Amino acid sequence: MKKKHNQQVKISTPNRVDMSDFEVTLQQLNDLLTDESGFYSWPTKHFHEVFPRIYVGNAFVAMNVMRLKRLGITHILNAAEGNSFMHVNTNAEFYAGTGIVYHGMPASDTDHFDLSVYFEEAADFIEKALSHKNGKGKVYVHCREGYSRSPTLVIAYLMLRHSMDVHSALAMVRQKREIGPNDGFLRQLCRLNQRLAAEGKLWNK
């Protein structure tokens, strides 16, 4: 038994060193989201292309089919499906006949809502959307304001499908659009980061 224990120590020591490179705090993520004075910025446009052919935006554009068609959007991911004030009441029927593929998730923008249960599902949908028409698909990911729920799902997609650590993925989206995922969502992204790092699925800068 003793010998086996020694072997485990040898294997886990370098892993512990590597893991520290991926440890991210809530404060570090909030620092990326705010300016020098610690203020968050509200989105300056209805939508932004945050990654090639991935657009994050608000309900206003999501409900404007003509505008979506002009943008060449082939897929819609509604991260706020529902009919309350905080949600966007669209569904597959809303886009019937437009050629736009719809997928909805009834997420709420609160600290205690577990958005992470949708991370894989959203990543799958975004991946399928982008491979549409031999890699010419465009996906519009939205919630009510395109500020918290939808960018969180896109950040999770970049981590799950592009092996980005949470710091890089969040910085990339923030560079393109003013966003402010709530602290609960940021914690869920930190947990995803820890899991992917432990599984050796993140590239280290």
pLDDT in tens, 44-88: 999 999 999 999 999 999 999 999 999 999 999 999 999 999 999
The full set of domain ranges for the chain reads 52-105+115-205
Q: What is the chain's alpha carbon radius of gyration, rounded to the nearest angstrom?
A: 19
| Residue 193, pLDDT score | 95
pTM for this entry: 0.88
Where does the pLDDT of residue 22 fall: very low under 50, low under 70, confident under 90, or very high at 90 and above? low
Query: Is pLDDT above 90 for 2?
Result: no
Where does the pLDDT of residue 20 fall: very low under 50, low under 70, confident under 90, or very high at 90 and above? low
What average pLDDT does the structure give for the chain? Answer: 89
DSSP single-letter state for residue 102: E
| Number of Cβ atoms within 10 Å of the Cβ of 5 | 9
- Indicate which residues carry an active-site annotation: 143
Of 135, 133, 33, 132, give the one whose Cα is nearest residue 77: 132
Q: Taking a C-beta distance cutoff of 8 angstroms, is the pair 155, 54 a contact?
A: no
Q: Over the stretch 128-144, which tens digit does the pLDDT of each residue have?
A: 999 998 999 999 999 99
Where does the pLDDT of residue 38 fall: very low under 50, low under 70, confident under 90, or very high at 90 and above? confident
Q: Taking a C-beta distance cutoff of 8 angstroms, is the pair 151, 181 a contact?
A: yes
Alpha helices in 36-182 (DSSP H): 59-62, 65-71, 119-135, 149-162, 166-176
Q: Which long-range contacts (CB under 8 A, 24 or more apart) does 167-173 make?
A: 167/24, 167/28, 167/29, 167/32, 168/205, 170/29, 170/32, 170/33, 171/32, 172/50, 172/51, 173/50, 173/51, 173/56
| Residue 71, pLDDT score | 97
Residue 170's identity, in one-letter code, is L
Query: Is pLDDT above 70 for 8?
Result: no
Q: Taking a C-beta distance cutoff of 8 angstroms, is the pair 151, 107 a contact?
A: no
Give the homologous superfamily in CATH for domain 52-105+115-205: Protein tyrosine phosphatase superfamily (3.90.190.10)
Measure Cα distances from 100 to 72, 91, 193 in Å: 10, 11, 32
Which residues, including other chains, have CB under 8 Å from residue 172's CB and lie 6 or more apart? 50, 51, 158, 164
